[in-house]
């Protein structure tokens, strides 16, 4: 793995160096180079916007030195869909594109290490959430370089970031189970990283799940028990679903109840190894019902056959 990552960086470096050699010959930046050569060399050379002209983004001017304000907001001319999504988000009119993406050093967040960058960007404003997220198992995965581990934008959308109260938001009560299901119901991910499988379908069959999908939005969804950002496995003593903390977690809704919640299994598949009792009940009923059904049918057929004679 490490060798591949190194190789990736080397090929990237070679690519950038080759392009760098041609920049000055292509004369993309015209007279701007005379003053802003550092800017272009340091920042723009690693950006995907390397081959754009200066006045693709900046307005043209006539005399030097030029006025300070020479921007024309034109991200939408190349990224119309992104801007359209962004216009629906809560950040619209509060943030500008460059506040997250940088002015000249616009690196794609999809490159290696980008997920950490995203987290850093978001937590520069959302400090509390950022701190909570940093304590989660998801961030642990990102630090290890696991590409499937989710960062902020994997749950909240990239540009169309909405309030959790908006029904369209992927973190709204009705949609959050499906958002988590993208990974926790995905057999490839659950088997590759050894995390418990089928978290969504088992939830959907539980009391809370049935209630949620019948429109009772006040019922518990994933984050009600697993925390908003500080999501941890039950084995971690800090986790909200650690056996010692369950009384507090369930008590958020079920107040004043001293439930027997030690060693409980919540929304698990009733397999032989996990919950033997429920498995036995199911097998017994299936056998018994099939047997009865078969005997009834047999009796009915024989009875009718005899009566016809």
Minimum CB separation of residue 208 from other proteins in Å reads: 12
Distance CA(224)–CA(253), nearest Å, equals: 9
Please tell me whether residue 13 binds other proteins under the rule CB under 8 A: no
- Binders in 34-93 for other proteins, by CB under 8 A: none
Distance CA(223)–CA(231), nearest Å, equals: 8
Cis peptide before 65 (omega within 30 of 0): yes
Please tell me whether residue 194 binds other proteins under the rule CB under 8 A: no
Q: With CA atoms as reference, report the closest residue to 55 among 82, 80, 36.
A: 36
- Binders in 259-278 for other proteins, by CB under 8 A: 259-262, 264-266, 270, 275, 277-278
Stretch that binds other proteins, among 34-42, 126-134, 170-178, 294-302 (CB under 8 A): 294-302
Please tell me whether residue 244 binds other proteins under the rule CB under 8 A: no
Please tell me whether residue 296 binds other proteins under the rule CB under 8 A: yes
Minimum CB separation of residue 296 from other proteins in Å reads: 4
In sequence order, what are the beta bridge partners of 71? 58
Minimum CB separation of residue 244 from other proteins in Å reads: 15
Please tell me whether residue 217 binds other proteins under the rule CB under 8 A: no
Contacts of 35 (CB under 8 A, 6+ apart): none
Minimum CB separation of residue 218 from other proteins in Å reads: 13
Minimum CB separation of residue 181 from other proteins in Å reads: 15
Contact call for residues 252 and 260 (beta carbons, < 8 A): no
Distance CA(163)–CA(157), nearest Å, equals: 11
Q: What is the 8-class DSSP label of residue 158?
A: S
Contacts of 198 (CB under 8 A, 6+ apart): 185, 190, 269
Residues lying near other proteins in the complex (CB under 8 A): 210, 213-216, 254, 257-262, 264-266, 270, 275, 277-278, 281-282, 285-286, 288-289, 292-293, 296-297, 299-300, 302-307, 309
């Amino acid at each position: 793995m490490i060798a591949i990552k190194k190789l990736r960086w080397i090929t990237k470096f070679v690519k950038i160096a080759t392009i760098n050699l041609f920049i000055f010959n292509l004369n993309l930046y015209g007279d701007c180079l005379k003053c802003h050569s550092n800017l272009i060399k340091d920042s723009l050379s690693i950006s995907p916007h390397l081959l754009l002209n200066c006045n693709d983004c900046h307005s043209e001017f006539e005399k030097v030195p030029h006025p300070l304000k020479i921007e024309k907001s034109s991200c939408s001319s190349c990224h119309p869909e992104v801007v359209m999504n962004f216009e629906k988000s809560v950040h619209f009119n509060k943030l500008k594109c460059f506040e997250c993406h940088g002015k000249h050093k616009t690196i794609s967040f999809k490159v290696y290490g980008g997920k950490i960058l995203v987290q850093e960007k978001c937590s520069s404003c959302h400090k509390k959430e950022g701190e909570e997220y940093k304590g989660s198992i998801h961030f642990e995965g990102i630090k290890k370089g696991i590409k499937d581990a989710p960062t902020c934008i994997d749950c909240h959308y990239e540009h169309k970031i909405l309030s959790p109260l908006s029904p369209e938001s992927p973190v709204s009560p009705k949609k959050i189970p499906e958002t988590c299901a993208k990974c926790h119901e995905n057999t490839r991910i659950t088997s590759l990283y050894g995390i418990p499988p089928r978290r969504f379908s088992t939830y959907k069959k539980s009391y809370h799940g049935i209630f949620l999908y019948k429109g009772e939005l006040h019922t518990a969804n994933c984050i009600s028990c697993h925390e908003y950002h500080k999501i941890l496995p039950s084995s971690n003593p800090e986790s909200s679903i650690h056996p010692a903390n369950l009384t507090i977690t369930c008590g958020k809704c079920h107040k004043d109840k001293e439930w027997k919640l030690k060693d409980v299994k919540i929304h698990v598949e009733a397999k032989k190894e996990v919950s033997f009792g429920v498995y036995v009940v199911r097998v017994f009923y299936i056998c018994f019902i099939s047997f009865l059904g078969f005997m009834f049918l047999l009796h009915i057929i024989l009875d009718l056959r005899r009566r016809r004679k």
